[in-house]
């Protein structure tokens, strides 16, 4: 991936930080490898990336088996915050919110969708 694209990806991920309670983001390849991250440095991004890819892929298979098409995005609510996943150009954009934040889920989803358009061009 060209360095200009890497910088563009990093800027898009960092641009989401702080919006709608977003703690940080990961862009993950379908094999679980992390392309870029805007999460705090103490986060184990390699493990998070691998598990996120597995989680999305397994749910995609389940959705297909239920004849509901292909999984495009999903949102998980946990006692630690929200994990939102969005498929973009064969990759997964994983967004984590900070614990204890009041989240406008509609706003979060809209922001992620808008950034995904720019990410798609940078990934291609």
Domains and CATH numbers, the chain: 3-123 (3.30.450.30)
Quick one: pLDDT at residue 4? 61
**Who's near 95: CB < 8 A, 6+ residues apart?**
16, 22, 24, 25, 82, 83, 84, 85, 86, 108, 112
How far apart CA 91 and CA 30 sit, in angstroms, is 6
Asked if 82 and 97 touch (Cβ cutoff 8 Å), the reply is yes
Of 74, 79, 77, whose CA–CA distance to 99 is shortest? 79
Dump pLDDT digits (tens) for 2-57: 666 888 999 999 999 989 899 999 999 999 999 999 999 999 999 999 999 999 99
pLDDT on residue 49: 97
pLDDT at 3 (0 to 100) = 61
pTM: 0.92
pLDDT confidence band for 101 (50 / 70 / 90): confident
């Amino acid at each position: 991936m060209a360095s200009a694209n890497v910088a563009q990806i990093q800027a898009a991920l960092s641009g989401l930080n702080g919006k709608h309670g977003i703690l940080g983001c990961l862009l993950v390849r379908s094999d679980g490898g992390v392309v870029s991250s805007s999460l705090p440095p103490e986060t184990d991004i390699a493990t998070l990336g691998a598990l996120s890819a597995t989680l999305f892929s397994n749910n995609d298979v389940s959705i297909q088996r239920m004849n509901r098409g292909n999984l495009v995005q999903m949102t998980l609510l946990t006692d630690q915050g929200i994990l939102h996943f969005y498929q973009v150009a064969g990759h997964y954009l994983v967004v984590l919110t900070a614990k204890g934040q009041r989240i406008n889920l509609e706003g979060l989803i809209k922001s992620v969708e808008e950034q995904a358009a720019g990410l798609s061009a940078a990934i291609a």
